[in-house]
Amino acid sequence: MSDITLSAGVRQNLLSLQQTADLMSQTQNRLATGKEVNSALDNPTNFFTSSSLQTRASDLSSLLDSMSNGIKTLEAADNGLSAITNNLESMQSTLRQARQDKSFKTTSYEVSLGSTPTGTEDLSFSGGAVGTTAVGVDLTTSQSQITAGSFSAVDFTNGVANDGAISFDIAVDGGSAQSISVGYADVNGTAADAGAVTADELAGIINSKLDAASVNATATVSSGNLVFTTDNVGNSSTSSLEISNFTATNGATGSGIANGTGSATNVSAKTVDALVAEINSNSSLDGKIRASNDNGKLRIENQSTQDLNIEGISSTGTVDGGSSTGKIEGNDVRGDLATQFNELKDQLDKLSDDASFNGINLLRGDNLQITFNETGTSTLEIQTKEGAAVNAAALKLETIDAAKLDSDTDIDALIGQVGDALNTIRSQSSAFGSNLSMVENRQDFTQSMINTLQTGADNLVLADTNEEAANMLALQTRQQLSSTALSLASQQDQAVLRLF
């Protein structure tokens, strides 16, 4: 090729065609790739800057998947909390239903004790809400009593040691009398100085000296009066009590010291109304048993979910004070509601266990970490408060037995516990909701950043297709003109051929 000699005009036009062809090739490449900068040779600065921006955009794009999984994990936990909330509200509704239910079982009994009971008849309640220790209610009434005197205080102080005393004789139903003497030594023991004794203290000293085997009597104080009572019940129509020779010697002084005698009708059976009043006023039976008068019958209501045993009920259902036992069944409705409560509590734990996504369960106390930037310096850790699992144990809800629903007070306490659990769940749900908002906000931000980075990178390397298309048209025109010019230049070299 080097041996061929071209004219200057031909060579110039050929060079122009070659340059045009190169420009067309470059323009075609830009149109095909859409990029103005396809390699570092095109524009090193723009090429490497664009590559860096694209790399960061790619890194952030991979983090979006992690954020998306984090959002779904939070949504799964929120689904669990919503279901648990509904479950707790059902538990609370169950307890309120038990609180309102009053379908306690009742039984009415005839009362048949005769006009002169022996004084040993009673009703004895056990089981149910009462417990294993029986609570007895005396079926008899009326006992003799006599007021012997009024004592605000008895003074044994007279300056002379060991010489003050109070004495009297006491007898019941005309039996042998017992002599009682309360002296200085009884009041003051071995103290050097004598002192005063109150009426209550005096009654206590007297009771310690009374011999119940021979004289069935008791000393008490009522409104300052020293009162003697007896429940010495026999077969006679009356019981009597006599206080005689009541004296104070030396320094023992008091007001209203006097002898006295008295008698009262012998023990008889309590009326149904009296029994009702005594049963309902017994603090050991309060809220557990309720008595009422059912047209002359003693009606007992078992305010418990458990069976109530009543000793003193005959086989025919009559109150006779004997050893036979009757039974009143417990409240089945409240018992069934206790079972329903326990089933709901168990379901709560299952809801918590099932609220997982991709192997992570925030309600079991798992830790979810979400990374927001490509360097790992911006992260968010999501976990329940103190990393505790959300279950019945953590919410302080326990399995209950039917007896737990016996008392309205106990039911109110359970309702309060479920209410506290609801507040805990709502608080945790609010915390997860806040976390979800943060992750969604960062997700939107990351998507915007990716768009910004990719747009910036494209601005550095992308070609203007309209401009490149115009360039291609111009180059095609130039190529045609160059070809024509080359043809004209070649014609001068062909002029020599005309000589032949």
Q: Does 306 lie in the same domain as 161?
A: no
486 within 8 A of 38, measured Cβ to Cβ: no
Indicate whether 477 belongs to any domain: no
Q: Does 147 lie in the same domain as 262?
A: yes
111 within 8 A of 299, measured Cβ to Cβ: no
Q: What is the CATH number of the domain that holds 163?
A: 2.60.40
Q: Does 341 lie in the same domain as 321?
A: no
Q: Does 168 lie in the same domain as 207?
A: yes
pLDDT tens string for the chain (500 positions)? 556 666 666 677 677 777 777 677 777 777 777 677 777 767 788 778 888 888 888 888 888 888 999 999 999 999 999 999 999 999 999 999 999 999 999 999 988 876 556 656 788 999 888 888 888 888 876 556 666 666 666 776 654 445 677 888 888 877 888 998 888 777 766 554 556 777 788 888 899 999 877 888 888 887 777 788 776 544 445 567 788 777 777 666 654 444 455 555 555 677 889 889 989 998 889 989 999 999 999 999 999 999 999 998 988 888 888 888 999 999 999 999 999 999 999 999 999 999 999 899 999 999 999 999 888 889 899 999 888 899 999 999 999 999 899 989 999 999 999 999 999 999 999 999 999 999 999 999 989 998 888 888 777 766 667 776 777 777 777 777 767 766 766 666 666 566 65
Q: Does 181 lie in the same domain as 281?
A: no
For residue 465, what are its two tokens? 């297709």
Indicate whether 462 belongs to any domain: no
The residues facing 108 across adjacent strands are: 299
Q: Does 428 lie in the same domain as 349?
A: yes
42 vs 48: CA distance, rounded Å: 11
Q: Does 307 lie in the same domain as 412?
A: no
Measured between alpha carbons, how far apart are the two ends of the chain, in Å?
26
Indicate whether 165 belongs to any domain: yes
Indicate whether 126 belongs to any domain: yes
432 vs 74: CA distance, rounded Å: 7
The predicted model scores a pTM of 0.62
Read off φ and ψ for residue 153, nearest 5 degrees.
-170, 150
227 vs 218: CA distance, rounded Å: 8
286 vs 36: CA distance, rounded Å: 95
Where is the domain boundary, 266, 290, 313?
266
Task: Say how far residue 33 (Cα) sits from the centre of its chain.
Answer: 66
Where is the domain boundary, 308, 330, 352?
330
Q: Does 289 lie in the same domain as 252?
A: no
312 within 8 A of 320, measured Cβ to Cβ: yes
CA distances for 230 relative to 139, 234, 407, 496, angstroms: 17, 12, 38, 169
Domain limits at 442? Answer: 59-100+335-454
Tell the burial category of 53 from Cβ atoms under 10 Å away from its Cβ (0-12, 13-18, 19+): buried
Q: Does 306 lie in the same domain as 200?
A: no
Q: Does 292 lie in the same domain as 238?
A: no
Indicate whether 383 belongs to any domain: yes
Strand 308-311 relative to strand 122-127: parallel, antiparallel, unpaired? antiparallel
Indicate whether 469 belongs to any domain: no
- In the chain, the amino acid numbered 155 is D
Q: Does 205 lie in the same domain as 148?
A: yes
What is the DSSP code (8-state) at residue 42? T
Q: Does 280 lie in the same domain as 367?
A: no
pLDDT value of position 269: 74
pLDDT value of position 307: 93
- The HSE-up count of residue 487 (CA atoms within 13 Å, CB side) is 6
Q: How many domains does the chain have?
A: 3
pLDDT value of position 374: 86
